[in-house]
Amino acid sequence: MFKKSVVALFTPFKDGHIDGQAVTRLVDWHASQGTHALVVGGCTGEGNSLTPDEHEYLLKCALEGAAGRLPIIASTGAVTTHETVTLSKRAQKIGVQGLMIMTPSVVKPLGEGLVAHFAAAHGAVDLPIMLYHNPGRTCGKLEDDTLEALASLPRLLAIKDSTDNLTWPLALKQRFGDRFALLSGEDLTCAAFLAQGGDGTVSVTANVVPHLYARLHDAWRAGDLATFFKTRDAIFPLSKAVLCVTNPIALKCAASLMGLCRDELRLPLTPASPPARAFVEATLHKAGLLTPGQARHA
């Protein structure tokens, strides 16, 4: 589950509410495109803007679309341990296959606090867990000694790293061996992350080109470097476009142009500016994802 092409799914909205039909269609499409798993309700999915009931509804729609064809990983990290445990229990109850839990933002816990936080979530459910390391959003860095303590939690199986520190996966592999699956959360360096010992990606860009991310990972595992390099080069400009402003602003712009959703976000996020939108649209055209006159302004 925590390997190869995992997509950080965006959340489609319609008139301020989750568009459940769009969610189900998206997940069905990802299953047909070779995506290996989906993270639902994370940062890309505007999870912090969702109520607990909306979070549950989103997961139910994703499970319906998946129909057992690919794992649904619920993002259940929150500022407090109590909320994290509650969201994790609810996600397990409705049938997700795994959890992704981010280190808490705002509060800046020390190492022992992080260990206690993850231990509480781990003890509350029976699901495999991926730890999400994103110091750019949480202002907190995972230290190796903290990971050493977390390694005692048997169902904490993976780490998603959303930094561009390409020495870290190699250092973790040398220290922990295969104890943790390592996944890149940084699209612009995801190919290099694999070469440094990574096992997969949790991608934003794969929302619009899931087939390319599936191909990237299949080529890497098969040792087909010609296909790997060609696919890497095709993905890079798309990643620059969908990440040109705060995620998921440009991503939703791209997805709306492709007819996958409305260009609707929840405040304080707002739609892409005209220059950003023009950059995204031009990149999609150049990649062959849009042809003249086919852009859909949903």
Closest CA relative to residue 167, chosen from 156, 180, 182? 182
The Cα 2–Cα 129 span in angstroms is 9
129 close to 98: Cβ distance less than 8 angstroms: yes
**23: exposed, middle or buried (C-beta count within 10 Å: 0-12, 13-18, 19+)?**
buried
89 tagged catalytic:
no
Residue whose structure tokens are 């990149």: 283
> Residue 295's CB: how many other CB atoms inside 10 A?
18
Strands 13-14 and 17-18 turn out to be: antiparallel
Read off the DSSP letter of residue 256. Answer: H
5 close to 35: Cβ distance less than 8 angstroms: yes
183 close to 158: Cβ distance less than 8 angstroms: yes
- Choose, from 160, 240, 252, 286, the residue flagged as catalytic: 160
**60: exposed, middle or buried (C-beta count within 10 Å: 0-12, 13-18, 19+)?**
middle
- Choose, from 132, 173, 213, 240, the residue flagged as catalytic: 132
Give the DSSP per-residue string, 151-207: TT-TTEEEEEE-S--TTHHHHHHHHHTTSSEEEE--GGGHHHHHHTT--EEEESGGG
Q: How far is CA 121 from its chain centroid?
A: 20
14 tagged catalytic:
no
The Cα 236–Cα 203 span in angstroms is 12
The Cα 95–Cα 237 span in angstroms is 36
Residues designated catalytic = 132, 160
